Amino acid sequence: MASLNTPDYITTARNAQIASVMSQVHDRLKELHKIIAEREQTLIAELESSRNVKLDDYIPANISQDMSLVNSFTHRNDQTRPVPSSFELDYSILEAVKSIGHFTYSDTPTNHTKGRSYVPKPMSNPGRNNPTVAVGKGGLAPGEFNVPRGLAIDPTTSNIYIADCVNHRVQVFNSDGQYLFHFGNERGENKMCNPWSICISIQGLYVTQFKLGAIHAYKYDGTFVNKTGSRGKGAGQFQYPEGLTNDVDGNVIICDRGNNRVQVLNGELNYLTEFGSEILKKPRDVKIVSEYVIVLDKSNPCLHVFTIRSDKSGVDHIQDMITQGQGEQVCKPGFFTLDGNNCILISDQWNHTIKCFSANGEYKKDVISLCNLYRPQGIDYDTTKHQIVCVCWNQSDVLQIFKTECLTK
């Protein structure tokens, strides 16, 4: 049988379609590159004005990319055009900015979960807004992280427990940032899966398992004690549990993000009650202060205050505060804690800062600057050592400790 050849008019039509699509892709790439260039210039101007430095002194020459990489593209139908290396510029500029915050820069390509190309340095003489300690990097080894999320400080020992989410473990450091041990990624039915947040109690610690919809209980040394929960909408079930805390009676209060509610379990992880479904929208973190329960979520305003009834039969919603946005507002809240003066500290992921608010929600200050944070996550305040502890991810995966005397007054 003779082979069939594609008619010329079909080939011509296909070539015209390919040329049209490639032209659209070319135009879109130019637009994206322009946006990236504008973002860089804005960031450079803000940085130079706030720090009185010239970024050219810190950015390696190979970061500067020629627009001709995009403009010189020609339409070719016989092969896919490569994406120019200049589109790594958005990440490279952030790495360069971090070099001012005492990070070592490398132009090795990076991504969000592995292969980070810079290692933070502990600070020998920290100044304003600089961390006293900055340790860790992306990786699997002890002391390295892969998307760290929540953390909690043991009030007795000041040890720092960090949910190393994608490494499926909890890592423990002392108050000086020295690695001690980790647990949770052992084989078996009690293995962790994407631990998200941690709270410390008199019995030990509790850890939310984001993907499993479960809560695990451990002793302080990492020995497994108990677990409860599964994916679902019923009582004691969870859809992506995130932040959690405990009260004076040993009960565990958990943000059930996917079900838009907060659930309360006793110390043995038995279901007691739930609240907030008529108000909350993807609750992320929770704290208890005296007779108040404070919940952080993705709604606007993002902080909701409930009061615990005197007979402890439930809670009542009494106040909303702190709107989301730019400037003095919170752009994308991650976690929050309270300092020694009952001020509210919120890790603001998209503003790359930690914001401080009074107990009634009035903005006070940004306590840590852009140069030392990128996508801050878990945060806690050590009342004994008088220091803020936080972790960052998305190109840093770093544990940072800030002495309060080093922060902006």
When divided into structural domains, the chain yields a total of 2
* Sign of the torsion angle spanned by Cα atoms 398, 404, 405, 409: positive
Span 81-92, pLDDT tens digits: 333 333 333 333
CA dist., res. 363 & res. 325, Å (int)? 13
Residue 127 lies in a domain: no
Token pair in block for residue 174: 């002392």
Residue 81 shares a structural domain with residue 141 = no
Residue 216 scores a pLDDT above 50: yes
Residue 124 lies in a domain: no
- pLDDT tens per residue, range 151-191: 999 999 999 999 999 999 999 999 999 999 999 988 888 88
CB 215 within 8 A of CB 227: yes
96 & 138 share domain = no
110 located within any domain: no
Q: Give residue 100's pLDDT.
A: 35
Determine the pLDDT at residue 253: 97
Q: Based on the domain organization, do 48 and 150 belong to the same domain? A: no
Evaluate whether residue 2 is within a structural domain.
no
Asked if 317 and 275 sit in the same domain, the reply is: yes
Question: Within a domain: residue 21?
Answer: yes
Supply the pLDDT for residue 336. 96
pLDDT bracket for residue 15 (50, 70, 90): confident
Domain check: are 137 and 91 in the same one? Answer: no
- Largest Cα–Cα separation, the chain: 90
Of residues 63 and 206, more confidently modeled: 206
Query: In the block, which residue shows the tokens 């944070």?
Result: 373
Considering 81, 100, 119, which residue would you say is the last residue of a domain?
100
CB-based contacts of 319: which residues, under 8 Å, 6+ apart? 304, 305
Same domain, 180 and 74: no
Residue 271 lies in a domain: yes
Q: Work out the average pLDDT over 107-119.
A: 33
Query: Rounded to two decimals, what is the model's pTM?
Result: 0.70
pLDDT averaged over the chain? Answer: 77
CATH of the domain at 285: 2.120.10.30
CA angle 45, 51, 52 (to 5 degrees): 80
The domain boundary, picked from 77, 100, 123, lies at: 100
Amino acid (one-letter) located at 219: K
Instruction: Please give the pLDDT value at position 323.
Output: 83
Percent of residues in the chain assigned helix, strand, coil, to nearest 5 = 20, 35, 45
Residue 391 and residue 271 share a domain: yes
How confident is the model at residue 11, as a pLDDT?
A: 64
Establish if 176 belongs to a structural domain: yes
Residue 275's domain spans which residues? 133-406
